[in-house]
Amino acid sequence: MRNFFNLFRLTADYRVLLSGGDGFYYYGGAAVNGDGHPDYRRLERVIRQLFPVLAGGDSGHGVTVAVLAGRLLRALVAGEPLDPVYDFVLNRKPPRSPGEPLTSLGFGLGKRYMHWKDAR
């Protein structure tokens, strides 16, 4: 069994959905601009190697979040009782972490260990 692998499926409108890989974390959980970023260039190389005829793609992560956020806002504005699924969004506390630089170091070491295990 491998720790890192790619998953593929065909969407209802016949687009290829790619997920998986080894993920990435940025210091302090910072967001980065994807334009020209090494992690995004690496992901683009992977999809182009696998599907050379494709011009590009979209991760689609925002679609699910947007739908759920829209439903939640509609219910809040209308004063409707909320589905318990939203408890996670409204009442969750962020997980405790040791803070930086230990979080970045732990993520990096864990990722290298899993790559090492996959190579064996």
pLDDT of residue 60: 62
Name the 3-class secondary structure at 83: coil
Phi-psi region of 54 (alpha: psi -120 to 50; beta: other; left: phi over 0): beta
Q: In the chain, where do the E strands start and end?
A: 6-10, 16-20
Q: Is residue 109 part of a domain?
A: yes
pTM value? 0.50
Total structural domains in the chain? 1
Q: Is residue 51 part of a domain?
A: yes
pLDDT of residue 113: 93
Give the pLDDT band of residue 109 (cuts 50, 70, 90): very high
Q: Where in the sequence is the domain holding 92, given as residue range(s)?
A: 6-119
Give me the DSSP letters along 35-57: TT-HHHHHHHHHHHHH-TT----
**33-81, pLDDT tens digit by residue?**
767 777 777 777 887 888 787 767 565 667 777 888 888 889 889 998 8
